[in-house]
Amino acid sequence: MRRCFSKTQKLLLLRRAGYRCQICGIQLTPDNFAADHRIPYSKQGATEVWNGQALCQACNARKSDR
């Protein structure tokens, strides 16, 4: 199982989120967002679009592996 989302998966996550952070709502671009696992990879979460979300860097750092 691979850990990182592919470029295509990242773009799908960003579009699905409406180019907004799914926690705080800040505007995102392809350069300033993080593709995050809803169920953390460290807890056996799949690297699939259904398990992903688009977050800003700050929210992704705060979420960690929760």
The tens digit of pLDDT for each residue in 5-62 reads 999 999 999 999 999 999 999 999 988 999 999 999 999 999 999 999 999 999 999 9
| CB-based contacts of 57, cutoff 8 Å, min separation 6 | 32, 33, 34
65 has a pLDDT exceeding 80? no
Both tokens of 34, joined, read 């993080």
> What is the per-residue pLDDT for 64?
73
Geometric angle at alpha carbon 64, from 17 and 8, rounded to 5°: 40
38 closest CA partner among 18, 11, 17, 19: 17
Query: Residue 20: exposed, middle, or buried by beta-carbon count in 10 A (0-12, 13-18, 19+)?
Result: middle
7-63: what fold?
DNA Binding (I), subunit A (1.10.30)
- Band (pLDDT 50/70/90 cuts) for residue 1 is low
2 has a pLDDT exceeding 90? no
